[in-house]
A and B are shown apart, each in its own frame.
Chain A
């Protein structure tokens, strides 16, 4: 059979893999090689479906996205009304539970502050255990005792998801970046835990977890911060702190959707915190915090 095959010059020319044939690019050779490539790509795609080892394969199963969610067009907006906050601390506790944040009080993606303005023009701020257990009946900030109170209010704090984030600018390994929808995330496979971002953030929204304390994704020794519950908002849920706030002091929505209730809060002209830093926060405040000099 082999002899017969070798005797047939027409068939020998068809075999592109045959080294003895002169490499004439006739129609059959081209079509044959094309078929091999197409079959290879199809085979690889089929194999990846069966065994999703590469990034990108089966993303949808691991991390579902709500059908209505479009990262390119979403205008995610967070409005905090400091006149409504009652200092209950439910948001701090819910954030820790939802995002598996270590229990120690120095690691917080969100926290609540009590601002007491005394008549001597000073502002006294306390946040015992980040407010996770609520607040004591009387302010405990140093120097507040015995002074006459002019005004006092609570205010929740969290990542502002700046349009111009200083934490991204300073990161030496480009581990932190802005997503298309404007959430500042950390790529933990790159973070080296240097802590530049912690220093750069004027809002104190970041911290570095020491070795032995894991992030929700299982890394340790890396920076961590609020993601506005990225895993929830992409599923069409509200961030956990918004979900549990009993007084509506935290509002979250998509301003690109004209029917979103966030427009009621936006109509009250919320303002960014400390705009002089030029960070352009996406989180805006209503109430007495914006009047604080």
Chain B
């Protein structure tokens, strides 16, 4: 018995298929909405909360490009601190490297290294008024070690006139621009870092 399908049957089949598809397409979301509204639990809130886009990236990913910083951090006391603690949220930078990274200022250092009541005693802090200068990053490199060694002093530090006699503005051995801009600096300020005997061979001279 040969089976011949008329065009009318095929058209009816397609029409019925489309009607069923349209019905399911509309009915499923409506049913989900009704179920949700009548208190049956679905995962709508989980999907919504998951869809928040992160501002902070994964700090482990920074080293993919910034290999030099990663290697330097291994020898630093700041090892273990995520990049974003000081450099701020970096998810956008990770996605688009052209978006700049915040360069921390000395204020960022004081976020932690500022002496306040109730801190653990292991944290090294300063009292800014008593510390030498307020621009931390002039002397301290946060990526390598906590403080750079003060420059080598190549002469004895005792029985001398005031430091600025020779190292003041316009003198023959002027101090570097990293130092604070004051016309007069008491010797005791200088000697906070430039301690007697800190240069090579100084121990014998200064006892």
- Interface residues of A, Cβ cutoff 8 Å to B: 1, 5, 10-11, 14-15, 17, 32, 35-37, 39-44, 46-48, 53-56, 59, 62-65, 83-90, 94, 97-99, 114-116, 134-139, 149, 152-154, 174, 177, 179, 185-189, 216-217, 227, 229-232, 234-237, 240, 243-248
Contact = CB atoms under 8 A, between A and B. Distances in A.
B56 A86 contact: no
B21 A43 contact: yes
A53 B41 CA distance: 20
Interface stretch (B5-13, B160-168, B189-197, B198-206): B5-13
B80 interface: yes
A194 B21 CA distance: 42
Contact of B55 (A53, A234, A240): A240
Instruction: Classify chain B's interface size.
Output: 35 or more
B61 to A, nearest CB: 10
Interface stretch (B66-74, B82-90, B132-140, B143-151): B82-90
A97 B177 CA distance: 37
A230 B44 contact: no
Interface in B41-85: 41-42, 44-59, 80-82, 84-85
Contact of A97 (B18, B55, B81, B116): B55
B17 interface: yes
Contacts of A138: 116-117
A56 B123 CA distance: 49
Nearest to A139: B117
B45 A114 contact: no
B118 to A, nearest CB: 4
A43 to B, nearest CB: 3
B172 interface: no
B112 interface: yes
Contact of B47 (A1, A55, A186): A55
A236 B50 CA distance: 12
Contact of A86 (B44, B52, B123): B123
Contacts of A246: 81-82, 85, 112
A40 B21 contact: yes
Contacts of A88: 111-112
A186 B46 CA distance: 9
A229 B50 CA distance: 9
A40 B20 contact: yes
Contacts of A139: 117-118
B152 interface: no
B56 A94 contact: yes
Nearest to B61: A237
A222 B53 CA distance: 20
B112 A98 contact: no
B89 A14 contact: no
Contacts of A37: 20
B16 A243 contact: no
A39 B116 contact: no
Given A115-B118, A185-B45, A235-B54, A39 B17 contact: yes
B24 interface: yes
A174 B82 contact: no
Contacts of A189: 36, 44-45
Contacts of A39: 13, 17, 20-21
Nearest to B111: A88
Contacts of A248: 80
